[in-house]
């Protein structure tokens, strides 16, 4: 199975984004977090397009890359960041499908691969939990994860509910 290929230039993408009709189904109550406006959704769609284009370039070149910002602060955060463990569960039943606590200090230098049980493919939805600790305070944390199945990128919805307790 090949990764999705996009042959769309940025002007055409901007036109397509502006013409998208957005659903009102996911509107929350006034006291809850408001739904992103059209401009925010357009920005997210453009970011998604950039990620897909970057993936296409990496696939075409046959290489991947792991990078850390050149800023001294980013390097300091990476040096003090430890993944304690990660697991995946069936989101419907909560059944543990996979877990690993074998995360070394090379997470920012070497691609990490996981061998998942084939039974996980039968789950209608899968939840992921990443337990980590940091020596540095992390603000405005954003997790971006790309998941591949048979070398094809899967669309992943990211949950921004993160517990930052214990970070100092």
In a domain, 84, yes or no: yes
The CATH number of whichever domain residue 130 belongs to comes to: 2.70.50.40
Residue 74's contacts (CB-CB under 8 Å, 6 or more residues apart) are 68
Q: What are the Cα distances from residue 36, in Å, to 16, 21, 56, 130?
A: 18, 14, 28, 26
> Are 77 and 149 contained in the same domain?
yes
Q: What DSSP designation does 124 have?
A: S
Average pLDDT, the chain: 69
> Are 143 and 124 contained in the same domain?
yes
> Do 71 and 136 touch, CB atoms closer than 8 A?
no
In a domain, 21, yes or no: yes
> Are 114 and 45 contained in the same domain?
no
Condensed to tens digits (0 to 9), the pLDDT of residues 158-168 reads 444 444 444 43
Stretch 115-122: mean pLDDT, rounded?
A: 90
Please report the pLDDT score of residue 87 as a whole number: 94
Please report the pLDDT score of residue 166 as a whole number: 42
> Are 51 and 104 contained in the same domain?
no
Please report the pLDDT score of residue 55 as a whole number: 67
Condensed to tens digits (0 to 9), the pLDDT of residues 76-115 reads 888 888 889 999 999 999 999 999 988 877 877 777 778 8
Please report the pLDDT score of residue 91 as a whole number: 92
> Are 100 and 146 contained in the same domain?
yes
In a domain, 148, yes or no: yes
Stretch 124-128: mean pLDDT, rounded?
A: 89
| Tokens found for residue 53 | 């284009």
Provide the pLDDT confidence category of residue 25 given band limits of 50, 70 and 90: very low
> Are 103 and 51 contained in the same domain?
no
- The residue segments making up the domain with residue 22 are 10-61
In a domain, 5, yes or no: no
In a domain, 43, yes or no: yes
Please report the pLDDT score of residue 168 as a whole number: 35
Provide the pLDDT confidence category of residue 1 given band limits of 50, 70 and 90: very low
Please give the Cα distance from 30 to 146 (Å, whole number): 33
> Do 73 and 99 touch, CB atoms closer than 8 A?
no
In 3D, which of 91, 89, 13, 85 has the Cα closest to residue 49?
13
In a domain, 166, yes or no: no
Condensed to tens digits (0 to 9), the pLDDT of residues 30-52 reads 444 445 678 888 888 887 787 77
> Do 97 and 119 touch, CB atoms closer than 8 A?
yes
In a domain, 164, yes or no: no
In a domain, 97, yes or no: yes
Higher pLDDT, 109 or 11: 109
């Amino acid at each position: 199975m090949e990764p999705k290929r996009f042959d769309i230039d940025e002007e055409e993408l901007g036109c397509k984004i502006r013409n998208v009709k957005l659903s009102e189904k996911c509107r929350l109550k006034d006291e809850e977090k408001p739904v992103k406006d059209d401009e925010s959704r357009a920005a997210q769609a453009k970011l998604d397009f950039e990620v897909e284009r970057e993936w296409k370039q990496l696939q075409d070149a046959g290489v991947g890359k792991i990078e850390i910002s050149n800023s001294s602060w980013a390097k300091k955060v990476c040096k003090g960041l430890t993944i304690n463990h990660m697991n995946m569960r069936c989101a419907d039943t909560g059944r543990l499908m996979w877990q690993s606590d074998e995360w070394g200090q090379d997470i920012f230098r070497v691609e990490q691969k996981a061998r998942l049980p084939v039974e996980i493919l039968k789950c209608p939805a899968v939840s992921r939990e990443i337990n980590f600790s940091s020596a540095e305070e992390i603000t405005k944390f954003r997790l971006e994860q790309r998941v591949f199945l048979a070398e094809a990128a899967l669309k992943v919805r990211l949950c921004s509910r993160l517990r930052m307790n214990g970070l100092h």
